Structure 1
Amino acid sequence: MRATKVQVRTGLEVFLATTSSELAGQQVGLITNATGVDHHLHSTVDLLNADTRIQLTSLFGPEHGIRGDVQAGVHISGQPDPRTGLPMFSLYGKSRRPASDMLAGLDALIYDIQDLGTRYSTYIATMVYAQEAAAEAGLTFVVFDRPNPIGGSAPAGNLLKSDFSSFIGIHPIPIQHGLTTGELARLIATERGWPAPLVVPMHGWQRNLWFDETDLPWVQPTPNLPTLDSLTLYPGTCLFEGTRYSEGRGTTRPFELIGAPDLDSFELVAELENRTIPGAIFRPVYFTPTFSKYAQQTCGGVQIHISDRQALHPVAVGLHLLHAVRTVSSVSLDWLQMADGRYFIDLLAGSDQLRLALDAGDEVAEILTNWEAERATFQERRRSCLLYKDEEE
């Protein structure tokens, strides 16, 4: 971590500090959540509602709601915002796309949400659907840019295959994409043939910065990602959502804990310690989730401690954990199936290749090698959409 934090102004703050604006006099809708704040933790909703250059007329809430008070997967019903009285539409309920009547009278649609840096985030799908709706309605789509919290350097993981597109993977990007929200919006618009978004860029952000190396205040982006450590491990450990094993939801360390009632903690850690996994230390633990998988049941498992995040490869850590659990369990990973028969792991992994490879006993190194060409292809695809360039770019 840097000794001195880097001063970064988000797209929101840059917009507020600019005397003139392309949006002046326009009626705008705002897609945001609890992460939409300035340095003083003032909400984007309140700041734009007080901005006399524009007329904020409606609010749109993603998964977890505008105020971040709703758990994962819980549908949200639209209702007026209690603070401003503005109409608030849910984009995580019966409909996940802004309908034409929701956009009636608007000139622009603003998006201001802290991304997770990971393909699984439903915020990405919300942004894609909003971009599409704005394009169809002839509205300007605006992004107030924010940092990639786990860094904007090289991407990692495989690309999503179109047959496995879902709300947790909607565009062919790798698991860890290494883009900011604005860069991601530019890439998607280019590749889908939509008008380019109006991105209000950050000032001061660099691609190699982690979130805690900036002077920005931390607001947890979802109820189950409370710390930067949990978010750092999320690209790998979220894959356990597709198995019967707990990913730590219902504990104070979600995505840092993996386990199940019948898992031998010490045997699992011994297996992991026999592998070369840079940047991580594994500790045998027991934990009891208060909700989600194995609620009120004691689970044996492992806590992943980050010893060197520069050396850490979260996607590789996740694959090693899956492979190690299968090794010590001597059984399948008990992949969870959805009501329509699909495997949830396939939606997370972006194809059925990971599931089939692990079931066949393939080694982690082989899986990662097979993904390398896809990762390299994306590295080239994203180049023209970058807004912040370091020396390696």
Structure 2
Amino acid sequence: MVQIGLEKIIESPPEWLKKARIGLLSNQASTASDLVHSRFHLQKAFPGQMTCLFSPQHGFFAEKQDNMIESGHQVDPATGLMVYSLYGDSREPNEEQYAQIDVLLIDIVDVGTRVYTFMYTMAYCLEWAAKLGKKVVVLDRPNPVGGKAVEGNILEPEWASFVGLYPIPMRHGLTFGELALMMNQEFSLGADLEVIAMDGWKRDMFFRDTGFPWVFPSPNMPTPETALVYPGQVIWEGTNVSEGRGTTLPFELVGAPFWKCGEMLDAVKDIPLPGCYLRELAFEPTSGKFARQVCSGFQIHITDPSAFLPYRTSLALLQASFGLYPESFSYKEPPYEYEFTRLPMDLIIGSQAVRRALETDKALLEIEAEWRQELTQYDEMRQKYFLY
């Protein structure tokens, strides 16, 4: 079984941590292999040193369902520690909060996708640590969608937002610790940063290969399979098509009342979509888009995780939906993740040009070819930060 950074730091505590005041950025998914939360393990290992907690989007207990649903600061009933929300009045820590700590430990379950906001919460924590002279230590964890494949266009700077601050592809192919090292160096965050690496993790591992228990990091990320489809399926958040929220299979399901599955499959039949099977079905969300309405669509079954291309698969379906149902299909209007004027779809894709190319019915493989060189350059750059 993989041994995560949390377990390593408890097993062999570094000398410089033994008298430090410690803050912890985490949420309810941040457990050891015994399913006991990291704050309890750290309190036991460093008695009297934990001073406060920080939480990302969705709240410390991952109870908030959707974007722009904020969490307030609260006292953790189990430890008595103050939990500072970094998805509330502000998405950044501040000087008053950092005055309570010497070292910030970051122990977060990431899902390997550019738009998942936890990485930008970490980036803001690194920026403030650099300003205020605090040390940051990332306790590394597996990337549940593996560490080999990268996929997608590189985010263009004019489309930067809290779902994409930096020019990276949709599927970034790094662990959270590697991501921290890359962001800190490549984007000049300048923090005093250390990563406690895992033992036993290999780049070709998907989450089911790790032997580690899955705990959902956000309400609509119930399984590792959800994480595998998410780098593509997240695009539906920028449309009126249901991404399966309000069902027991969010992101694995996709559809709308106006879809006709046969027409959709015919529209994508010439595009290679390896590693998956699009199974036709109907579903009825209990909340969110089309609540209590029957949607026609698909469950994405992953038959070969190593071959599966989540971004291509979902973009193919998006292009088909736009082309077949122009009178019914629509994009979500702002606001989205605190952006009040720009189209959410452009923020999610990280490019207006890619969206417009899809709308003109340009061949998807041709669109991919246009970003291949930048993706290759990113792939080469990220390898400087490999820990495994």
TM-score (norm 1): 0.94
Residue identity in the other structure for 1:32? S
Report how far residue 78 of structure 1 moved: 0.5
Q: 1:332 to 1:189 in 2, by over 3 A?
A: farther
CA shift digits 1:209-243 (9 cap, x unpaired): 11110111111221101122221011111111111
Report how far residue 21 of structure 1 moved: 3.5
Q: 89-98 vs 331-340, which deviates more?
A: 331-340
Q: Which position in structure 1 is the counterpart of 2:194?
A: 198
Q: 1:117 to 1:304 in 2, by over 3 A?
A: same
Find out whether 1:344 has 2:340 as its counterpart.
Answer: no
| Contact 2:134–2:192 (8 Å) recurs in 1 | no
What are the within-5 Å matches in structure 2 for residues 9-20 of structure 1? 9-20=3-14
Report how far residue 70 of structure 1 moved: 2.0
Find out whether 1:33 has 2:27 as its counterpart.
Answer: yes
Find out whether 1:155 has 2:150 as its counterpart.
Answer: yes
d(CA) in 2 for partners of 1:100, 1:330: 50
d(CA) in 2 for partners of 1:307, 1:208: 16
Find out whether 1:242 has 2:238 as its counterpart.
Answer: yes
Q: Secondary structure at the residue paired with 2:84?
A: strand
| Contact 1:109–1:139 (8 Å) recurs in 2 | yes
Instruction: Specify every segment of 5 or more residues in structure 1 that has no aligned partner in the other structure, as ranges.
Output: 1-6, 389-393
Instruction: Specify every segment of 5 or more residues in structure 2 that has no aligned partner in the other structure, as ranges.
Output: none
The correspondence for 2:76, drawn from 81, 98, 117, is: 81
d(CA) in 1 for partners of 2:100, 2:224: 39
d(CA) in 1 for partners of 2:179, 2:229: 21
What are the within-5 Å matches in structure 2 for residues 251-290 of structure 1? 251-290=247-286
Find out whether 1:69 has 2:63 as its counterpart.
Answer: yes
| Contact 1:146–1:180 (8 Å) recurs in 2 | yes
| Contact 1:272–1:282 (8 Å) recurs in 2 | no
Q: CA RMSD in A?
A: 1.5
| Contact 1:190–1:196 (8 Å) recurs in 2 | no
What are the within-5 Å matches in structure 2 for residues 94-243 of structure 1? 94-193=89-188, 194-243=190-239
Q: Which position in structure 2 is the counterpart of 1:335?
A: 331
d(CA) in 1 for partners of 2:244, 2:201: 32
Report how far residue 273 of structure 1 moved: 4.0
TM-score (norm 2): 0.95
Q: Which position in structure 1 is the counterpart of 2:42?
A: 48
Residue identity in the other structure for 1:142? V
d(CA) in 2 for partners of 1:313, 1:27: 44
d(CA) in 2 for partners of 1:97, 1:19: 28
| Contact 2:105–2:139 (8 Å) recurs in 1 | yes
| Contact 2:52–2:100 (8 Å) recurs in 1 | no
Report how far residue 85 of structure 1 moved: 0.5
Q: Which position in structure 2 is the counterpart of 1:321?
A: 317
| Contact 1:183–1:385 (8 Å) recurs in 2 | yes
Q: 332-341 vs 315-324, which deviates more?
A: 332-341
d(CA) in 2 for partners of 1:258, 1:331: 19
Residue identity in the other structure for 1:219? V
| Contact 1:119–1:176 (8 Å) recurs in 2 | yes
